[in-house]
Structure 1
Amino acid sequence: MPDRTDTTERVIAPVPRITIQAFCETPDVAAVIEAAAEDRRMQKAHLKVQMGGAPAAAEAFRTAPTPNVLVLELHGGRGNPLSQLDALAEVCDPGTKVVVIGHVNDVLLYRDFIRRGVSEYLIAPIDPVAMIAAVSDLFAEPGAEPLGRTVAVVGAKGGVGASTLAHNLAWSVARDHATSTVIADLDIAFGTAGLNFNQDPPQGVAEAVFAPERIDTNFVDRLLSKCTDNLSLLAAPATLDRTADFGDSAFDGVIDILRAMVPCIVLDVPHVWTAWNRRLLIGADEIVVVAIPELASLRNARNLFDLLRQSRPNDRAPRLVLNQVGMPKRPEIAVAEFCKALDVTAAAAVPFEPQLFGAAANNGQMLSEVQAGNKTNEILSGLAATVLGRTEVKRSRGSMLDPLLAKLIRRKAS
């Protein structure tokens, strides 16, 4: 199993399949909780928002079981909050976790809440992400490692080099930033990660997808093929003996396991539009959209950005990478114009270098193995820092022997 190291930005774990009921006193807090219910991290939970505060909750639960999580807004100027909690405790099931949203920053009141079994106390005004984080933390295992970050890389159209950049991005995260990483090739039928890493593992992602009942940490660990000390591959079989029309949650189990195993998972997402593909993109912590500077890429990228912005209101926008920039004799949309049309700043613009990319593809190598000092490697290392939430490169001291050592590690693993 790859070793874990922490990334800089915290990743909020998805809320498990639970029931949540919120009883609010003000429209503002109710609106925030309703916005939180639409967040990608809450897609498994069932949340219901009602008005009336603690009195309404006590009345509702006299004849009904309490949910897994009860969220209460208690306004200090509207009755005694402690007596309201005491009245609610008489009808509340012992296993219910209680989150209180208050309007008073009072340490003594907070301590009284904790003594009465309140799990978390938030001070209004709150935002949807704070609400989600509070609920998520209630179900975190004590002492558990921080959750791994998922980075989904997808092409705006076929043939833009998204898979090649995803593989090299994962390599850079592992090597330049000393972060244990898994590159997961999700193109069951036509995936190229095995070729690009010069690996031919007997098992891979298909075994996990087609046998979800077997998924656990040990099973997934056996499916990984080691590329370097910090990089492992979850390969696709690239065979046509089975179709890839899965259900929308087909990859949930294996990705949940990987998030508990390593700090970074780079998802090589194929250019298709299915329920599972859409779910993967919306659920990722970071999204990288790869395009080339031409009209079809611009149209498709705009559609992707519009959908993802609408579906992920509490997340940053996807990151745009323009690939194959500066191809001779090809009319191109200028990088600035392309970005202006999407209202984004390009996270990276990768120059057109057919000899470098062609040699890497034909030899089953990464770009830095073919030409260590190439500018494209610097661009990808900066992109890796960006998706990890870092500003500095945690680069290990390199040498001219690095490409040879990487080859030896691969040969030994295969």
Structure 2
Amino acid sequence: MSPADKNMPGLDLRSIPRIAVQAFCETKEVADIVEAAAADRRMVKAHTKVQTGGLAAAVDFYGTAPTPNLVIVESREGRDVILGQLDQLAENCDPGSKVIVIGHINDVILYRELTRRGVSEYMVAPITVFDLIREIGEIYYKPDAAPLGRTVAFVGAKGGCGASTLSHNVAWACAKTYNHEVVLADLDLAFGTAGLDFNLDPTQGIGDALAAPERVDDVYLDRLLAKCAENLHLLAAPATLDRPYEYDEAAFDPIIDATRTGVPIVVLDVPHLWTGWVRRVLRSVDEAVLVCAPDLANLRNAKNLADTLKQARPNDAPPRLVMNMVGVPKRPEIKPEEFAKALGLPITAQIPFDAALFGTASNNGQMIAETDPKSAVGETFRQLAQVVTGKHEIKKARRSPFAPLLARLRGAK
């Protein structure tokens, strides 16, 4: 670094990915630093919320709410109090959430105990804006850091069983429920419907990325994304027939890898095909969701898919089974429990047939929860989002000395 650069400490900082950050501060000085960091250009992709109450308030708050990607907590207490409160916080932390503790004592033993408990970083106040941004960047960009994004693939056992509709609604539910950035990638290049379902007509999308693999990185993909809703972005399919879509087995790897580098949740709408790249995508994702209607053709195909994925992913959980369009009037159906028994899989979710609700949502370019916020189907999608993203159940509220404070915080959202 040149002498001139030393006077500009932010030059070596990396941009922070699309993460959700919540900070619980005790002092105005630290709160101001977090606010200033959130306004910095390097944090423009992150969603940051600053609240008061410090570590103690965070413990109580996350007893009834899911944790974001990064929690920043400040405490002016001593070692024993901090460790005790962090142990309580850990009970409610979702897998994958990171924690930065800002304290006011320079205590080596405390630092070692925090590290042993999995805390990402302990910072001693006073800190600067650049100190905080640098620490966040190191958490997400250090060489041994796991990819930020969790990949979830939806695939139908048979064409027309509703896998695309489910993937779109679950992606929307993830974005709304957890306040995380979500990218929905429509991999049905010729006939993808994600743009229609969100009432969008993007001019760019996944086709552009496939045409220029040498340019694919998180910055380039950012330019290809279309905004569907708050926290939800679409990597749209071309949905045209001007050319055949034939790709090598690894063609989608750079796109998926670059997307999950900067986004916490990536939902893949996989077409009902069996090609080298489809097989590779389904083998590589964190969660595979198998969507089926309760008939014989779906059962046969689902059995083949389930057996293939179990064999190809021996160290991963088996695919999730979702029964869709259950209860069509006058249609003979295989009972869902018999369907599941034949596959050797439990039913993760069951979606009833509701032509009016799904038809209205489709025609209006809306998700189910937008069309009917009180719908039981919308709640099922929320629960399915919770399962496939590995989130904990949201716990029931409990009274505490911080209850009045937390009520004011929630009311201010």
TM-score > 0.5, shorter chain as reference: yes
Q: Does 1:244 align with 2:245?
A: yes
Which whole-Å deviations, capped at 9, do the CAs of 1:163-215 have from their partners, x for residues lacking one? 00000000001101222110000011100000001111110000001110111
Distance 2:286 2:234 in 1: 20
Q: Which residue of structure 1 aligns with residue 356 of structure 2?
A: 355
Report deviation, 1:222. Answer: 0.2
Which whole-Å deviations, capped at 9, do the CAs of 1:214-271 have from their partners, x for residues lacking one? 1122110000011222111111110011211100011111111111111110000000
Report deviation, 1:360. Answer: 0.8
- SS of structure 2 residue aligned to 1:227: strand
| Shift >3 Å, 4+ stretches | 1-5, 7-11, 142-146
Which residue identity is paired with 1:199? L
Distance 2:202 2:382 in 1: 27
Which residue identity is paired with 1:202? T
Report deviation, 1:392. Answer: 2.1
Contact 1:381–1:393 (Cα < 8 Å) also in 2: no
Q: Which of 95, 110, 114 is the matching residue for 1:9?
A: 95
TM-score (norm. length: structure 2): 0.62
Superposed counterparts of 1:116-127, under 5 Å: none
Q: Which residue of structure 2 aligns with residue 214 of structure 1?
A: 215
Q: Does 1:319 align with 2:320?
A: yes
Distance 2:146 2:297 in 1: 42
Which whole-Å deviations, capped at 9, do the CAs of 1:59-79 have from their partners, x for residues lacking one? xxxxxxxxxxxxxxxxxxxxx
Contact 1:2–1:231 (Cα < 8 Å) also in 2: no
- SS of structure 1 residue aligned to 2:178: coil
Q: Which residue of structure 2 aligns with residue 269 of structure 1?
A: 270
Q: Which residue of structure 2 aligns with residue 390 of structure 1?
A: 391
Q: Which residue of structure 2 aligns with residue 310 of structure 1?
A: 311
Which residue identity is paired with 1:326? G
Q: Which runs of 5+ in 2 are unaligned?
A: 1-16, 21-67, 70-92, 98-139, 397-413
Distance 1:394 1:245 in 2: 47
Q: Which runs of 5+ in 1 are unaligned?
A: 12-138, 396-414
Which residue identity is paired with 2:193? T
User: Larger Cα Rg: Structure 1 or Structure 2?
Assistant: 1
Superposed counterparts of 1:1-400, under 5 Å: 2-4=18-20, 5-6=68-69, 8-10=94-96, 141-142=142-143, 146-393=147-394
Aligned length: 268
Distance 2:393 2:252 in 1: 32
Distance 1:260 1:148 in 2: 6
Distance 1:251 1:175 in 2: 27
- SS of structure 1 residue aligned to 2:351: strand
Which residue identity is paired with 2:268? L
Which residue identity is paired with 2:272? H
Contact 1:282–1:311 (Cα < 8 Å) also in 2: yes
Does the C-alpha gap of structure 1 residues 394 and 363 become closer, same or farther in structure 2, counting only changes over 3 Å?
farther
Contact 2:18–2:264 (Cα < 8 Å) also in 1: no
Which residue identity is paired with 2:362? A
Distance 1:313 1:140 in 2: 29
Does the C-alpha gap of structure 1 residues 393 and 235 become closer, same or farther in structure 2, counting only changes over 3 Å?
farther
Distance 1:291 1:146 in 2: 30
Does the C-alpha gap of structure 1 residues 255 and 146 become closer, same or farther in structure 2, counting only changes over 3 Å?
closer
Q: Percent identity?
A: 54
Which residue identity is paired with 1:310? Q
- SS of structure 2 residue aligned to 1:293: coil
Distance 1:157 1:348 in 2: 18
Which residue identity is paired with 2:331? R
Which whole-Å deviations, capped at 9, do the CAs of 1:23-63 have from their partners, x for residues lacking one? xxxxxxxxxxxxxxxxxxxxxxxxxxxxxxxxxxxxxxxxx
Distance 2:165 2:322 in 1: 12
Q: Which residue of structure 1 aligns with residue 44 of structure 2?
A: none
Distance 1:385 1:393 in 2: 9
Contact 1:191–1:238 (Cα < 8 Å) also in 2: yes
Which whole-Å deviations, capped at 9, do the CAs of 1:363-398 have from their partners, x for residues lacking one? 111011110110001111111000111132499xxx
Does the C-alpha gap of structure 1 residues 326 and 202 become closer, same or farther in structure 2, counting only changes over 3 Å?
same
Does the C-alpha gap of structure 1 residues 381 and 271 become closer, same or farther in structure 2, counting only changes over 3 Å?
same
Does the C-alpha gap of structure 1 residues 304 and 394 become closer, same or farther in structure 2, counting only changes over 3 Å?
farther
